[in-house]
Structure 1
Amino acid sequence: MTANGSRLRAALPLGFVVRRLAGTVGMLFVLSVAVFALLQAAPGDPAQTLLGPRSATPEALAAVRARFHLDSPLAMQYWYWLSDAARFDLGTSIRTGESVAAAIGSRLVLTGQLVGLGFAVALLLGLPLGVLAGLRNRRGTDRAVQSLGVVALSTPAFAGGLLLIYVFALMLGWFPAYGPGEGSGTDRLMHLVLPALALGLAVTAVLLKLTRAAVIRELDREHVTFARARGVRERDILLRYVLRGTLVPVLTGIGLVLAYLLAGTVMVEQVFALPGLGSLLVDSVTFRDIPVVQAEALLIAALVCLAGLVTDLSQPLLDPRLRTASAAKAAAGSAAAVSPGRPADVREEEGR
């Protein structure tokens, strides 16, 4: 076994990975049940909705119920839907008649590009400004940066998008006002700049606040004070001690930001007339296209859970203190299991 493999196994024990994977699968199961139950609880007859504007004769309704298992108990209906989704058979769109998987796949690239650019905007603005505010704590620069963050956080994405269109598209003419552009090159990038700004600015303040709080906390640590007493340069202290200590809380915030970006695309795509997953979801809800709504809700839930899983598994790799804490906890648990008859305070002291 190589040294890198040994370090990876030490940082990510098999039990830790299995627990996180099991938790993610359990969360996905709960979310899938919630999505299915909420759509089943919606008013109206699902068979009539699936049949569409065609004449709803008793024979036609019975045929639709038999085809989509609507005459089965709810538990069986859920099982049929989940088993088909596990095989990537997401059904057929009621509104367009095309495969749901094809409809989502054709729009997934555009939404992925938008989320990626919005995420880059949030990182490039939120992290440096948060570090600056933390280093200038309670000074004029800190107050100015926090004020800008509050303005960005309190501005809805659709309102920010309208303002960006008015200033940079209508007044200055720097960027197109709407549409996805042609192809996937420069023209597509120019069309996505304003939507990405509207999407990223709404979450920049979240990263700014988390980064600022983490920097302030790390500056008060004893090892930072000791490094300054030894005459270590402030630049080295910032890079080697402060920023390294902020990785875990900032990474947690990044996971939350990704979840918000996925949800925020709905309004941004509507404002900028982008044919992505957000627009597809709005149209599907409007026309009660149940198969598409179910598939999109499950996809978004899966992406959010995946972002949380990656965040959890990355933390021990970035911060060695978490590995030490996990190892000490495991050792304490083993000692308690070996000596169950000893007093609790003695076992706790030995675990320390």
Structure 2
Amino acid sequence: MRFVIRRLGALAATLLVSSFIIYAAMYAAPGSPESFLVRGRTVSPEVLASIRVQYGLDEPFLVRYWHWLTGVLSGDFGESLATRQDVASLLASRIPTTLGLTAYAALLIVVFGVVAGVVAGLRGGALDTAVLLGSSVGFAIPTFFAAVLLMSVFAVTLGWFPVFGAGAGLSGRLLHLTLPAVALALPAIAVVARITRTAVVEERDTEHVSVSLARGVPWRVVARRHIVRNAMLPVTTIVGVNVAALVAGAAVVEHAFTLDGIGSLLIDAVQQKDFAVVQAVALVLVAVFGVVNLVIDVLYAVIDPRVQLGGESA
């Protein structure tokens, strides 16, 4: 429990520092909220001053940051400059699509990446060669090109899947998100399969595995307890990193398939200089990365208790 509490404290500190950087970066970027609000029109100094007062832009930077941070802690992310909608409501309506897409892609990464790497590392032969070749192809295909290719073949030519939208209901949602999830997960599957295969091969060739087999321990037991379990430490890291990156990478796929997720919301907000929305989405992305890293740390302690013991002795 102390191990988890320490990691939660580190996550809270990371989010605090990140929130300041995100808030400051938006005001350091070219342009300003005032220029967007007046939309290039020439206004009198009095009107400009009233706009600054209305949106709290006349206050010192640290005061504005403090008001924004306290609002975020209470669930208030401010108001969108473009649509005048509550940012929290915008996020709440977009997050389910992104969560569904990333969860689907993460499942594909685990099923195809980890399983393919484990099987290839344990069995070798033609299957190993096929996994190495397939992972090399997956490395070379950018996410956006994969989205266009999948859409062209399986949606337009074959008509097996819908082209646009997120669908309604569980079956409709799964059908609509299949092609976007495959496009999003494809590069990560290649990375995870290659690293998993390498980790399994290294563990398979270790001395303690040879000794266990020489003592008559069944291959199935050795593979499960000594090879796969020990290989899961680096695999857990790479899976966690790629799953965390899915949320950021989802923006490209959501834009290609016109999905109403937070990735497409971020792209629109950046183009419109909608500061409040950009800050909120960026903070959500940082929080997702932090939570995934926390889960990885906990899984490390479950797989290898020495990780937890090492942290306590430090």
Place the TM-score, normalised by the shorter chain, in its bin. Answer: over 0.9
Q: Distance in 2 between matches of 1:169 and 1:217?
A: 41
1:88 aligns with 2:111: no
- Of 238, 244, 262, 1:259 maps to 244
1:164 aligned partner:
150
What is the one-letter code of the residue matched to 1:166? S
* Paired position in structure 1 for 2:114: 127
| SS in structure 1 at match of 2:76 | coil
Cα deviation per residue 1:198-219 (whole Å; 9 max; x = unaligned)?
Answer: 0111210221122122212222
| Normalised TM-score (structure 2) | 0.93
Cα distance in 1 for residues equivalent to 2:97 and 2:63: 35
- List 4+ stretches of structure 1 deviating above 6 A: none
Q: For 1:184, which of 164, 169, 181 is the aligned residue?
A: 169
Report if aligned partners of 2:33, 2:273 keep a CA contact under 8 Å in 1.
no
Greater RCO (Cα-Cα under 8 Å, separation 6 or more): 2
- The answer to whether the 8 A contact 1:207-1:253 is kept is yes
Q: Which moved more, 1:90-99 or 1:74-83?
A: 74-83
- Asked if 1:36 is matched to 2:23, the reply is yes
Query: Counterparts of 2:41 and 2:71 in 1: how far apart (Å)?
Result: 26
Which residue does the alignment assign to 1:270?
A: 255
Partners in 2 of 1:184 and 1:57 — Cα distance?
52
CA gap 1:149/1:300 in 2 versus in 1, 3 angstroms:
same
Distance across 1 between alignment mates of 2:127 and 2:278: 46
1:179 and 1:54 map into 2 onto residues whose CA distance is 36
**What is the alpha-carbon distance in structure 2 between the residues aligned to residue 57 and residue 259 of structure 1?**
47
Query: How many angstroms does 1:325 deviate by?
Result: 4.5
1:166: how far off? 1.1
Within 1, Cα distance between the matches of 2:90 and 2:287?
Answer: 18
What does the per-residue CA deviation read over 1:33-61, in whole Å, with 9 as the maximum and x for residues that have no partner?
22112211122232232454676332232
Counterpart position of 1:284: 269
CA distance in 2 between partners of 1:233 and 1:57 (Å): 84
* Stretch deviating more after TM superposition (292-301 or 254-263): 254-263
Task: Provide the aligned length of Structure 1 versus Structure 2.
Answer: 314
The equivalent of 1:23 in structure 2 is 10
1:202 and 2:187 are equivalent in the alignment:
yes
| 1:104-119 alignment runs, 5 A limit | 104-119=91-106
The equivalent residue for 1:142 is 128
Structure 1 length as normaliser, TM-score?
0.83
Q: Which runs of 5+ in 2 are unaligned?
A: none
Superposed CA RMSD: 1.9
1:152 is aligned, of 110, 132, 138, to 138
Structure 1 gap segments, 5+ residues each = 1-11, 334-352
Indicate the larger mover: 143-152 or 194-203.
Answer: 143-152
